[in-house]
């Protein structure tokens, strides 16, 4: 309202004409948006004038369409602002293209693959332009997608640099790297049950576009629908999203108890959701704060319920397969014995059985067709759903044994056993090792090659520089920050555990001196940004795999909805929290 904007509408929906007002169009220059814009003025004047702001460069053929249409008479402003990405979180960006997974990995349409990589490069170039970065580019050496994207992106960045010669100038900006990883580098992270708050909620609960809906019933039997937006505007979510669920179960109620004590309101030691509802009635002036605690206690309870019902018996098997070790740090010798009880259990959801089978296959480096048939038979996976398993091979992940196949180079995994707090959360995404190796200048060039001529030079000073941050809400987008950035782009989707890794490395990792390589002069920690075409959950990842085959498929989303149908119970999981369950 302060900017005299009275209404925000969706371009794709039917809108009433407002012939006495001008309109601002903030749109992507794609076929659908351009067509909608032209149609708004094809037979009538929807607005008295239009101010056009495009997220990216408008292609010539779309410019020709606009010039030959009636809308040209109404254009008051025309700007290309180069922000063709979504700032998802403070250190996370998304390219917002859910269909691109199939276009990238479906070999039957090579033209669509190249077109998608071109679009990725355009969007990543606008990200770098907005951040004022002209990074050195590294790519996963054995991924055709990563190599091709790296070269296309470099050409796009060169064009931006030609238009803005100062792009990439500033203290430590010569150290910035953009590293492109294919999902094949770590196919494990999208499969394991991660037990941190954000990952667990996204995996196990029915969350739509980061919105959680649930029902509550008061003492009079009246039901109320609640809606929780899980984003960085929620202080509790922002604080606890990367914490282990066991820590959340303990700390959030303690925090609420302290809050009530500060407000001089007596609460029981094991306060339930019903207690919070009564407190909200008794202290209406703190309704917003109490509702926030109520929301998160409900979500954590729902996660705990799903864990006890479906997940607990899977986690040990998954962790052993994902790490290749038992909790006693002994090599996993006979993984088949671990998985057979899970596959034979009729109470285990088919989605979870498929996840276990894929983890087993990855642990073995591929299996025979005979063994694959046996696993599918034991798990009672329907024949039409086997494509979900087989299609992992289209990501260059071996499913069946190939004697002539060369094993691609990989990095040495770091030993993090000393920092393990919960045995059922031992697995660490590979990207975290990549982040730390890259910061130290020790990332293996055989695995992640620099494009020719783009290796960063050693920085010479610790001068502070102005940094753009899209997540600032106070209008001041410049923040003094020392040290360079590393920007990651994951082809094939980004997991919650990989997002968490970016925050942990940025917050905690101390750069190690590496003999003239890396940022030896930096006195502050590096900033790690991560992104992809979208965030993926295990269900959405398996759904994406299923789309690579034209046969009728099992829909993992429906399985998730079915198994979560009872998640809205108001049972009080805090009355006897069994933290030992989490190992």
pLDDT tens, the chain, 583 aa long: 556 777 889 898 888 899 999 999 999 898 999 999 999 999 888 999 999 999 888 999 999 999 999 999 999 999 998 889 999 999 999 998 888 999 999 988 899 999 999 999 999 999 999 999 999 999 999 999 999 999 999 999 999 999 999 999 988 899 999 999 999 999 999 999 999 999 999 999 999 999 999 988 777 778 888 999 999 999 999 999 999 999 999 999 999 888 877 776 555 555 565 665 666 556 666 788 888 999 999 999 999 999 998 899 999 999 999 999 999 999 999 999 999 999 999 999 999 999 999 999 999 999 999 999 999 999 999 988 899 999 999 999 999 987 567 889 999 999 999 999 999 999 999 999 999 999 999 999 999 999 987 777 654 444 344 555 665 554 444 444 557 899 999 999 999 999 999 999 999 998 876 554 444 544 557 999 999 999 999 999 999 999 996 544 444 444 443 444 444 443 344 433 433 455 5
Assign domain 200-308 to its CATH superfamily: Sec1/Munc18 (SM) protein, domain 3a (3.90.830.10)
What pLDDT is recorded for position 567?
42
Distances from the Cα of 95 to the Cα of 15, 104, 122, 205, angstroms: 27, 14, 10, 24
Let me know: does 254 contact 247? Beta carbons within 8 Å: no
Please check whether the two domains, 86-186+427-538 and 200-308, share a CATH topology: no
Sign of CA dihedral 488, 493, 498, 499: positive
Both tokens assigned to 494: 């980004």
- Residues facing 408 on adjacent strands: none
Contacts (Cβ under 8 Å, ≥6 apart) of 440? 511, 512, 514, 517, 518
Contacts (Cβ under 8 Å, ≥6 apart) of 129? 82, 160, 164, 167
Q: Percent helix, strand, coil in the chain (nearest 5)? A: 45, 15, 40
Please check whether the domain covering 18-80 is classified as CATH 3.40.50.2060: yes
Contacts (Cβ under 8 Å, ≥6 apart) of 484? 172, 173, 174, 175, 176, 177, 459, 519, 522, 526, 527
What pLDDT is recorded for position 352?
96
What pLDDT is recorded for position 512?
78
Residue 426's CB: how many other CB atoms inside 10 A? Answer: 21
What order of strands is seen across the sheet that includes strand 86-89? 86-89, 92-94, 527-532, 485-491, 177-182, 136-140, 448-450
Domain ranges of the chain: 18-80, 86-186+427-538, 200-308, 314-412+539-563
- DSSP secondary structure string for all residues of 517-577: BS-TT--S--EEEEEESSB--HHHHHHHHHTTS-S----HHHHHHHHTTTTT----GGGS-
Domain at 314-412+539-563, CATH class: mainly alpha
Give the integer Cα–Cα distance in Å for 583 and 577. Answer: 13
Residue 495's CB: how many other CB atoms inside 10 A? Answer: 29
- Residue in 441, 434, 442 with CA at minimum distance from that of residue 458: 441
Sign of CA dihedral 387, 391, 393, 399: negative
Distances from the Cα of 42 to the Cα of 34, 35, 66, 117, angstroms: 12, 10, 11, 33
Give the integer Cα–Cα distance in Å for 137 and 563. Answer: 43
Let me know: does 399 contact 389? Beta carbons within 8 Å: yes
What pLDDT is recorded for position 276?
58
Give the integer Cα–Cα distance in Å for 350 and 183. Answer: 23
What pLDDT is recorded for position 575?
39
Architecture in CATH of 86-186+427-538? 3-Layer(aba) Sandwich (3.40)
What pLDDT is recorded for position 211?
95
Sign of CA dihedral 72, 75, 80, 85: negative
For 66, the enclosing helix (H) or strand (E) is helix 60-67
Per-residue buried b or exposed e for 375-385, using 16+ beta carbons within 10 Å of the residue's own CB = bbeebebeeeb
- Residues facing 147 on adjacent strands: none
- Residues facing 486 on adjacent strands: 177, 528
- The label of the residue with tokens 């991560």 reads 530
- Per DSSP, the three-state class of 326 is coil
- Residue in 467, 443, 459 with CA at minimum distance from that of residue 521: 459
Both tokens assigned to 12: 């794709």
């Amino acid at each position: 309202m302060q900017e005299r904007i009275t209404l925000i509408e969706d371009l794709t929906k039917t809108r009433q004409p407002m012939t006495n007002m001008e309109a601002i169009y903030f749109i992507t220059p794609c076929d659908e948006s351009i067509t909608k814009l032209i149609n708004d003025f094809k037979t009538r004047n929807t607005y008295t004038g239009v101010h056009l702001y495009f997220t990216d460069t408008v292609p010539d053929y779309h410019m020709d369409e606009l010039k030959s249409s009636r809308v040209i008479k109404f254009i008051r402003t025309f700007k290309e602002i180069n922000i063709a990405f979504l700032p998802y979180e403070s250190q996370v960006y998304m390219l917002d293209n859910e269909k691109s997974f199939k276009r990238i990995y479906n070999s039957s349409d090579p033209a669509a693959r190249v077109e998608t990589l071109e679009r990725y490069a355009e969007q990543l170039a606008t990200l770098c332009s907005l951040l004022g970065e002209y990074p050195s580019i590294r790519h996963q050496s054995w991924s055709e997608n990563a190599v091709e994207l790296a070269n296309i992106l470099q050409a796009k960045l060169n064009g931006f640099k030609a238009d803005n010669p100062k792009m990439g100038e500033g203290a430590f900006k010569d150290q910035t790297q953009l590293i492109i990883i294919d999902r094949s580098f770590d196919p494990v992270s999208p499969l394991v049950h991660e037990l941190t708050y954000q990952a667990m909620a996204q995996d196990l609960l029915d969350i739509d576009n980061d919105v959680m809906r649930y029902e509550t019933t008061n003492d009079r039997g009246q039901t109320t629908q609640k809606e929780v937006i899980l984003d960085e505007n929620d202080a509790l979510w922002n604080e606890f999203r990367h914490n282990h669920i066991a820590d959340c179960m303990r700390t959030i109620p303690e925090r609420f108890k302290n809050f009530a004590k500060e407000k001089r309101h007596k609460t029981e030691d094991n306060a339930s959701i019903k207690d919070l509802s009564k407190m909200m009635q008794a202290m209406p002036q703190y309704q917003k704060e109490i509702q926030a605690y109520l929301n998160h206690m409900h979500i954590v309870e729902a996660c705990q319920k799903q864990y006890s019902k479906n997940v607990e018996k899977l986690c040990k098997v998954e962790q052993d397969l994902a790490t290749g070790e038992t909790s006693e740090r002994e090599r996993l010798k006979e993984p088949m014995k671990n998985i057979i009880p899970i596959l034979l259990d009729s109470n285990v959801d088919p989605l979870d059985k498929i996840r276990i089978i894929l983890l087993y296959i990855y642990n073995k480096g591929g299996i025979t067709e005979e063994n694959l048939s046996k696993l599918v038979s034991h798990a009672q996976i329907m024949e039409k759903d086997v494509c979900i398993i087989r299609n992992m091979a289209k990501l260059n992940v071996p499913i069946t044994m190939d004697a002539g196949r060369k094993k691609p180079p990989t990095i040495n995994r770091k030993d993090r056993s000393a920092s393990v707090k919960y045995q059922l959360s031992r697995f660490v995404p590979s990207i975290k090792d990549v982040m730390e190796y890259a910061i130290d200048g020790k990332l293996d060039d055989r695995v992640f090659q620099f494009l020719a001529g783009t290796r960063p030079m050693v920085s010479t000073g610790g001068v502070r520089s102005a940094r753009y941050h899209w997540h600032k809400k106070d209008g001041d987008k410049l923040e003094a920050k020392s040290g360079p950035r590393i920007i990651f782009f994951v082809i094939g989707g980004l997991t919650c555990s990989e997002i968490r890794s970016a925050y942990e490395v940025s917050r905690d990792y101390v750069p190690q001196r590496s003999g003239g390589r890396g940022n030896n002069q930096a006195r502050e920690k590096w900033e790690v940004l991560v992104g992809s075409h979208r965030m993926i959950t295990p269900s959405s990842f398996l759904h994406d795999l299923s789309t690579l085959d034209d046969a009728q498929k099992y829909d993992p989303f429906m399985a998730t909805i079915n198994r979560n149908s009872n998640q809205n119970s108001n049972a009080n999981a805090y009355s006897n929290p069994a933290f030992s369950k989490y190992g």
